Amino acid sequence: MDWLIWAGALVSLLGLAGLVYCIVVAVRAKRAGLPDDEMRARLKSVVTLNMAALFVSALGLMIVIVGIFLS
């Protein structure tokens, strides 16, 4: 079941990459000095991606745990 552990680690890293992308987008929006309405619109679009990336990362960690239990 080593392949399950490595697959889970890969899925978790993909989720982590999505979270880092969300952080980069939020920092760029803050540095752009946008008005409040534009800032909210930009960050609102990132919230969905952020939640999806968090879900993918948690799913990957669950896969790793299942792989460890089955080993």
CA 7 to chain centre: 16
User: What tens digit of pLDDT does each residue of 13-62 get?
Assistant: 999 999 999 999 999 989 998 898 999 988 998 999 999 999 999 999 99
**Residue 69 pLDDT greater than 90, yes or no:** yes
Q: Is 61 left (phi over 0), alpha (psi -120 to 50) or beta?
A: alpha
SS3 at position 34: coil
Say what the pLDDT of residue 33 is.
86
Tell me the pTM. Answer: 0.85
At 1 the pLDDT is 80
